[in-house]
Amino acid sequence: MSKPITHPGISSLGEGEYAWYLLERIEDRINRIYEYVEIEKDQLGIHSLHNALGLYEVGTLVETTFRKIVRHEAVASFPSLQKRSLTRAKRRNANILDYRNVLEPVLNLSRRSTEFRLFKYAVTLIPFGSFSESDSVSPAWWLAYNSVKHDINENMKKATLERLIEGAAAAFLLTVLYPGNWPSLIVHNRLSPTRRSRRGWFMPQNIDGEIFWTKLFEAFFPHFNSGVETFSSPVIQVSDVTANSRLFFSHLAHFDPDKKYVIP
């Protein structure tokens, strides 16, 4: 059994707040599009310089967060992770295949969905779905980002609204999954414990902070066994964690306190 990773404290709030600020800039870019173009299925193929610059912001934030996650102690604690793969992912010139080889078994990225909703338009996105493939692991939004990064004039048509939304969903998901951001996200109510009941969802009140903190590792890092015997009490039972962005995105992480996690 691994030991619980303790709360890093108030000193990391600033880093998480800045990461969230960068994510909100990307959301604001999408929001500005809506002032001129109705965001609906038939409009997702439109391309523009505005989208291309947004993809550049997305890719930069994603790569930055990738590097932070692979350096976190929760990833290093994964028992079956090959040291060679982790070393490659920590290199300055690591590519998306290197990140995928480390983070897919640890975080199950290919199965994590993100909800995007703007008024009447809603869609479920799996921004890292291609990570389940053995060969072509680069998501479509990542290919579009690399295309405009290397030649924005030649590849402008690849910078579609659809790719920008997919990439923004990926940036949101990674921002939520990086433990270094959690103190800030908890303080600002971006990460919240929830419980399901016959009447739907509700937010438990007065939940012990250390219990929720430890549960985050269980929900986001399925291999991580904190040693906490139960998250149940006569008053509350925390079964899920919800993450919500300021405007468009949401993610629900399920956790079964009775599940016996099997280490691959």
Per-residue pLDDT tens digits for 177-192: 999 999 889 888 898 8
More confident residue, 184 or 197: 184
The alpha helices in the chain, defined as continuous H runs, are 13-34, 49-70, 73-76, 83-89, 96-107, 140-150, 161-177, 182-187, 209-220
| Token digits of residue 170 | 């990926």
146, part of any domain: yes
Could you list the residue range(s) of the whole structural domain that residue 211 is in?
183-254
Cβ 23 vs Cβ 248: under 8 Å: no
> 149-169 pLDDT, tens per residue?
999 999 999 999 999 999 999
Query: In which residue are the tokens 């995007």 written?
Result: 116
39, part of any domain: yes
The domain boundary residue, chosen from 181, 211, 244: 181
In a shared domain, residues 151 and 197: no
How far is CA 230 from each of CA 72, 226, 258, rounded to the nearest angstrom?
25, 10, 8
> 77-100 pLDDT, tens per residue?
887 788 889 999 999 999 999 999
Query: In which residue are the tokens 């139960």 written?
Result: 230
Please give the torsion angle defined by the CA atoms of residues 250, 254, 255 and 258, in that order, rounded to the nearest 10 degrees: 160
Cβ 107 vs Cβ 131: under 8 Å: no
164, part of any domain: yes
The domain boundary residue, chosen from 123, 150, 181: 181
In a shared domain, residues 18 and 86: yes
220, part of any domain: yes
27, part of any domain: yes
Question: What's the total number of domains in the chain?
Answer: 2
110, part of any domain: yes
In a shared domain, residues 171 and 199: no
CA distance 146 to 22: 19
In a shared domain, residues 165 and 234: no
263, part of any domain: no
In a shared domain, residues 177 and 188: no
At a CB cut-off of 8 Å and minimum separation 6, what does 35 contact?
A: none
CA distance 46 to 68: 33
In a shared domain, residues 15 and 142: yes
In a shared domain, residues 69 and 87: yes
Does position 253 have pLDDT exceeding 80, yes or no?
yes
pLDDT > 70: percent of the chain: 79
Does position 211 have pLDDT exceeding 90, yes or no?
no
Cβ 219 vs Cβ 193: under 8 Å: no
Q: Are strands 249-254 and 121-125 parallel, antiparallel or unpaired?
A: unpaired
Place 11 in a pLDDT band, splitting at 50, 70 and 90.
low
> So what's the pLDDT on residue 149?
94
The domain boundary residue, chosen from 181, 216, 241: 181
In a shared domain, residues 165 and 209: no
In a shared domain, residues 114 and 239: no
In a shared domain, residues 106 and 125: yes
1, part of any domain: no
Least confident span in 5-9, 118-122, 175-179, 237-241? 5-9
How far is CA 117 from each of CA 100, 217, 243, 248, rounded to the nearest angstrom?
27, 27, 14, 5
In a shared domain, residues 177 and 197: no
DSSP assigned state of 232: B
CA distance 200 to 257: 19
In a shared domain, residues 112 and 26: yes
